[in-house]
Structure 1
Amino acid sequence: MVVRRPPGRRAQILAVAADRFHRSGYHQVSMTEVAAGVGITAPALYRHFRGKPELLDRAVRLGLDALADGLRTADSTDALAAALAAVAVGHRPLGTLVQRDARLLAPARRASLRRELRADTALMAAVLRAERPELPDRDAELLCWSALSACAGLSYQSAAPQPRRAEAVLRELVAAVLAVSLDGTDLCSLPADGLGEAGGEMPVTPGPRPQARREELLVAAVRLFHERGFDNVSTDQLGAAVGITGPSVYRHFDSKAQLLAASLVRSRERLWHEVDGAISAADGPAAALEAGLAAYVGFARRNGDYLGAMLSETERLAPSDRRVAVDFRRDFLRTWVGLLRLVRPECDAVEARIRVHALFALVNDGVRNRPHSARPDLGDCLLRLGRAVLGVS
């Protein structure tokens, strides 16, 4: 007797895998869990896919294919906004899969995905420049990358908003991003000493040698975990980054996991101190929102490695540390949502959350997306784009 597989089984598997990877992180999901989500056995799952790497690869490709299909038929900026919004809602896990998990794929596959995204951006930029021929190529490309990033912010919401509402808000904010003028940006609008190249680190305060070494390890850990992933960084590599042997790392931290947790805690403390301090010192909600935006952009440009590690490695924390990190994100988000609603009373909580998530995704990507991250006017560009996303430009 021939046993027929249910139609669409591969698509069903990919949908479940994408959702599980999105919610829990690639490393926390097993093939058995994916199989159970589909209602089949693990051996049956292996008849469709050879392993988790292929599942991740195919799940990312499914979303990117939908994006490319939508963009190919877009002949105006309104159509671009509609296409991006539809993919963001219809393939909600795609943002986290691309920004967080795709780096775990083989180098050749990562390069291929990057080429596909560049091709998508080129399609968008061609449409944008047809409507705005005065735009330099680099500005058109930055606006398009920023629109993609803003839509990816929907992936980071803990609860999915009503699809039609989400699409409407995303269409509006994408249109606003694509309409931003980057011409005449002020290269000195933000302090040069506070806005180094993306991925730069905060200077280490001199002190007693053991304490300084601990601080150096925290900085090096954030950079290495961001660049290579927690599992791909050894204690020997961590030690070599600060001029000590691998075993010497354990004089400062009991384990690599403890070092990861401490490095993320230290960066969170800096983020809260800088941004909340700027918001608290401002006079009135509008000034506070502007000050908070400038502070967040400044922090992001100095601490791109932390933002990358926060996105990619939080799931590698011990459960108790992970809960603390998630609680911090919620509190931070709540502050911004409340502030935006004070500035824009017509904006309800659903729209405010979509816009704030879009802001963070846009800035976090912007400081790490070369070659645009090397622009000397990046700080001012991100301020303009951030205002557009929040709807306060």
Structure 2
Amino acid sequence: MTSAGPAAATRPHNRKQLIVEAAGQVFSERGYHAASMEEIAAGVGISAAALYRHFPNKYALFAEAANVMVDRLVAALDDAPPDAALRDVLAAIIRVTVSHRASGGLYRWEARYLEREDRRRLRTKFGQLVDRVTEMVGREFPLPEQGLRAAAALGAIGSVTMHHTSIAQRRIEDLLLESALRVAATDPGSAAGSASLVELPAQPVPRTRRAEILAAAIPLFARDGFANVTNAQIAEAVGLAPSAIYRHYPGKVDILVAACLQAAGLLAQAVDRSLQRAAGPREAVVALAAAYVAYSFEHNALTSVAEAEVAGLPPDLQRPVILAQREHIAVWEQQLRLARPELDPRQARLLVHAGFGVVVEAGRALRWQDAPGHRDAVTALVIGALG
């Protein structure tokens, strides 16, 4: 009888699970196209060849990783008794989300790279999750827009996967739970008229060829993902030969950087104009929420590109975009702490991101239709998340 050898003796039984966990984290942090099988294998401490024994290619591993979080969330709901309180169910969802925070952001933006059938399957699972939470929200808080409030509450929870603010896990869970419950209990009509607080900067009019290229590229990036869009597609949208793009931008990535910086600039202008009207800290927080919601509806394609693609930028090009984002969050943090002095900076930052998560998921639930009242409803839910 031959021995399997020391390597086989120490091989973990859950290696496939470890691979999926490592892959989720790499895909979340680097993006699908920037991630490599070698990088994922290194995170598990194995060779790329060993990785291919479990998954035939990067896409198969990506599809598996994309489903892990939602499967865990569905399992947490399945374990809850039929008469479980909303607080207990949300707490279970939060524990799963926070425990897998590093890889949980994968579905938020990267799922666009799933093939159609895999994307449909993932959406079905999330739809079941939202439906279950909607039922509980309606039972405990019989107010209008139960589905919208449920999606927004889950957005507040999921926001923790999109940033790196460091707080003790128990404190994160407590803050997210109270934020999500406030969202679930918020009447979407409670911020009626908040849109009047906002004066958005005008949509930039492309007056140069460079600006025309940028305006054409943004909706393509938003629809198909930056990596899937070619310079030829952008050139065709503008009526140029592909080679003409290089007279205005050194490469496609430079168009993406310009889009991200344009997003940051427009948002900064909206915030400055809104805060000028605020009479006090609470009014300032409401004005910030209304401005961010209005901006997200008005510039949805630009916003999704800036938020989804920044992680894939080279570090030197990423730096000014990250700095602009941090400056924006610092404004929120300062105003929220003036309105809620009991919060420390990290707690305030966590809640600010929860508010951003509400906008993303509530906006998606409304299909970003800029109908009367939608901006006010989402603003009310953001204010609820912030407490």
Task: Report the TM-score when normalising by structure 2.
Answer: 0.90
User: Match for residue 284 of structure 2?
Assistant: 288
Match of 2:170 among 161, 164, 173: 164
Q: 1:37 to 1:69 in 2, by over 3 A?
A: same
User: Match for residue 50 of structure 1?
Assistant: 56
Contact 1:222 / 1:264 at 8 angstroms: preserved in 2? no
**Structure 2 letter corresponding to 1:233:** V
1:17 matched to 2:13? The reply is no
CA positional deviation for 1:171: 0.8
CA positional deviation for 1:346: 0.7
Match of 2:305 among 302, 306, 309: 309
Q: Which moved more, 1:44-53 or 1:106-115?
A: 44-53
Match of 2:386 among 383, 386, 390: 390
Q: Which moved more, 1:276-285 or 1:68-77?
A: 276-285
User: Match for residue 195 of structure 2?
Assistant: 190
Q: 1:278 to 1:135 in 2, by over 3 A?
A: closer
Q: Which moved more, 1:158-167 or 1:353-362?
A: 158-167
User: Match for residue 117 of structure 1?
Assistant: 126
**Structure 2 letter corresponding to 1:64:** V
Contact 1:202 / 1:303 at 8 angstroms: preserved in 2? no
**CA RMSD, Structure 1 to Structure 2 (Å):** 2.4
1:38 matched to 2:32? The reply is no
Q: 1:111 to 1:160 in 2, by over 3 A?
A: farther
User: Match for residue 350 of structure 1?
Assistant: 346
User: Match for residue 243 of structure 1?
Assistant: 239
CA positional deviation for 1:388: 0.6
**Structure 1 letter corresponding to 2:124:** R
1:6 and 1:155 map into 2 onto residues whose CA distance is 27
User: Match for residue 332 of structure 1?
Assistant: 328
CA positional deviation for 1:65: 1.1
Contact 2:23 / 2:61 at 8 angstroms: preserved in 1? yes
Q: Which moved more, 1:272-281 or 1:34-43?
A: 272-281
1:192 and 1:170 map into 2 onto residues whose CA distance is 27
CA positional deviation for 1:45: 1.1
User: Match for residue 198 of structure 1?
Assistant: none
Contact 2:18 / 2:44 at 8 angstroms: preserved in 1? yes
**Structure 1 letter corresponding to 2:97:** A
User: Match for residue 220 of structure 1?
Assistant: 216
CA positional deviation for 1:109: 0.5
Gaps of 5+ in 1: 196-200
Q: Which moved more, 1:51-60 or 1:103-112?
A: 51-60
Runs of 4+ in 1 over 6 A off after TM superposition: 192-195
Deviations 1:110-140 (A, max 9, x none): 11101110111111112222224x445xx11
1:322 and 1:183 map into 2 onto residues whose CA distance is 39
Contact 2:29 / 2:311 at 8 angstroms: preserved in 1? no
User: Match for residue 61 of structure 1?
Assistant: 67
1:312 and 1:303 map into 2 onto residues whose CA distance is 14
Q: 1:183 to 1:287 in 2, by over 3 A?
A: closer
Contact 2:152 / 2:183 at 8 angstroms: preserved in 1? yes
CA positional deviation for 1:343: 0.9
1:161 and 1:23 map into 2 onto residues whose CA distance is 19
Contact 1:185 / 1:377 at 8 angstroms: preserved in 2? no
Q: 1:112 to 1:78 in 2, by over 3 A?
A: same
CA positional deviation for 1:192: 12
Contact 1:150 / 1:362 at 8 angstroms: preserved in 2? yes
**Structure 2 letter corresponding to 1:305:** A
2:326 and 2:370 map into 1 onto residues whose CA distance is 30
**Structure 2 letter corresponding to 1:124:** V
**Structure 2 letter corresponding to 1:79:** D
2:279 and 2:165 map into 1 onto residues whose CA distance is 33
CA positional deviation for 1:44: 0.9
Deviations 1:228-259 (A, max 9, x none): 11121112221232333433333322221111
Q: 1:80 to 1:183 in 2, by over 3 A?
A: farther
2:20 and 2:62 map into 1 onto residues whose CA distance is 8
1:297 and 1:174 map into 2 onto residues whose CA distance is 18
CA positional deviation for 1:299: 0.9
Gaps of 5+ in 2: none
